[in-house]
C-alpha cells in the first residue's frame, strides 16, 4: 500500500475531526493535547493543526530563520472546506503574540473572529482560551523587559502598552464569546511560568485536561485505548509544515503529513 492509499484509508475510518490552533504552548504539548481531546471525543480522528513557536493569528511570524503565515491566512481553511462533513471540535489558544508584533487589538480580534466564523460554518464545537490577563498584569517591569527581549527581540512595546492591548483583547474575546456563542476558557495564573505566558511544564497535563472538559463527551468509548494519566499515543509519522520559509526560501509539503499510532492523520499548517 502506498503512503497516499494508507492516508486515504485512515480518513475513511476517522470518527471525528479535531482542529487545533495556537503557538508555542500548543506546539510543545501537541501530542498530549491530541490524546486528551481524543479521550474526550473519541478516535481515530482527522486532525488539522496550525501551530508553531511565535505563531500569530493575523500576521506572518519569523522565529530565527523560519517563517510562517498568520493562522487566518494559512492553508488549513482551504483544506477544511475540501473535506467531507464530520463531527468537529476546535481549540483556539495562545492568542496574544500578535500584540508584540504590533497589531492593534481590533485587528487581532478580527482575525480570531474570522477563524471562529469558518469553524462555525462547519458546525464545530469551539473552546477558546482567553489571554492570561492576571499573569500578564503581574509581570514586573524587569521581567517583562527580559522576556520581551528574549522572545520578541524586534518589539519595542513598553509594558504599559502591552498590558493595555492585552486588556482590550481580553475584553474583546469576552464580548465575542457572548455574541458568537462559543466557550471561553479563563486561564488562571497558577498554570503559568515566570514569563506569564508559557504553561509551566509540570502543569501541562492538568491545564489541558481542565480545558478539554468543556468539549462534549463521546457517546461511546474511544477506540484508541487511552487511559487516564498515561501517554500512549506516539508518532508513526511526525507532521511537517505544509508551507514555511527557511532563510526566506519557501518550502512546501503535501498534507496530511503526519500519522499517529491509533490511525489518526495529522495536517500541519
H or E segment at 115? helix 105-121
Ranges of each domain in the chain: 3-268
Q: How confident is the model at residue 38 (pLDDT cuts 50, 70, 90)?
A: very high
Question: Does the structural domain 3-268 have CATH classification 3.40.50.1110?
Answer: yes
Local confidence band at 8 (pLDDT 50, 70, 90 cut-offs): very low
Q: Identify the band that residue 219 occupies on the pLDDT scale cut at 50, 70 and 90.
A: low
pLDDT category, 227, cuts 50, 70, 90?
A: very low
Residue 218 pLDDT class (50, 70, 90 cuts): confident
Q: 3-state SS of the chain: helix, strand, coil percent to 5?
A: 40, 20, 40
Q: Burial, 90: exposed, middle or buried (Cβ in 10 Å; 0-12, 13-18, 19+)?
A: buried
Cα 94 to chain centroid distance, Å, stands at 7
* pLDDT band, residue 216 (cuts 50/70/90): very high
Mean local confidence (pLDDT), 68-87: 97
Of 26, 266, 269, which is closest to residue 129 (Cα–Cα)? Answer: 26
Q: In what order do the strands lie in the sheet with 265-268?
A: 183-185, 125-129, 88-92, 16-21, 45-50, 265-268, 258-260, 235-237
132-159 residue pLDDT tens: 999 999 999 999 999 999 999 999 999 9
Percent of the chain residues past pLDDT 90, beyond the cut: 88
Amino acid at each position: 500500500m502506498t503512503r497516499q492509499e494508507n492516508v486515504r484509508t485512515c480518513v475513511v475510518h476517522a470518527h471525528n475531526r479535531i482542529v487545533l490552533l495556537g503557538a508555542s504552548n500548543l506546539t510543545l504539548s501537541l501530542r498530549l493535547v491530541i490524546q486528551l481531546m481524543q479521550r474526550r471525543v473519541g478516535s481515530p480522528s482527522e486532525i488539522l493543526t496550525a501551530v508553531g513557536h511565535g505563531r500569530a493569528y493575523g500576521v506572518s511570524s519569523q522565529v530565527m530563520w523560519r517563517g510562517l503565515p498568520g493562522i487566518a491566512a494559512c492553508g488549513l481553511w482551504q483544506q477544511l472546506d475540501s473535506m467531507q462533513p464530520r463531527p468537529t471540535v476546535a481549540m483556539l489558544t495562545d492568542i496574544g503574540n500578535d500584540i508584540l508584533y504590533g497589531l492593534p487589538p481590533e485587528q487581532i480580534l478580527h482575525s480570531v473572529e474570522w477563524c471562529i466564523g469558518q469553524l462555525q460554518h462547519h458546525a464545530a464545537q469551539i473552546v477558546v482560551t482567553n489571554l492570561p490577563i492576571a499573569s500578564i498584569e503581574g509581570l514586573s517591569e524587569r521581567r517583562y523587559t527580559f522576556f520581551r527581549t528574549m522572545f520578541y527581540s524586534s518589539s519595542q512595546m513598553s509594558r504599559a502598552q502591552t498590558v493595555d492591548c492585552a486588556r482590550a483583547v481580553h475584553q474583546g474575546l469576552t464580548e465575542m464569546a457572548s455574541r458568537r456563542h462559543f466557550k471561553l476558557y479563563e486561564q488562571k495564573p497558577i498554570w503559568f511560568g515566570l514569563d506569564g505566558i508559557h504553561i509551566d511544564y509540570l502543569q501541562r497535563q492538568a491545564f489541558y485536561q481542565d480545558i478539554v472538559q468543556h468539549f462534549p463527551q463521546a457517546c461511546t468509548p474511544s477506540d484508541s485505548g487511552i487511559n487516564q494519566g498515561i501517554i500512549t499515543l506516539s508518532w508513526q509519522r511526525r507532521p511537517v509544515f505544509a508551507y514555511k520559509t527557511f532563510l526566506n526560501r519557501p518550502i512546501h509539503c503535501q498534507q496530511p503529513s503526519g500519522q499517529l499510532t491509533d490511525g489518526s492523520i495529522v495536517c500541519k499548517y
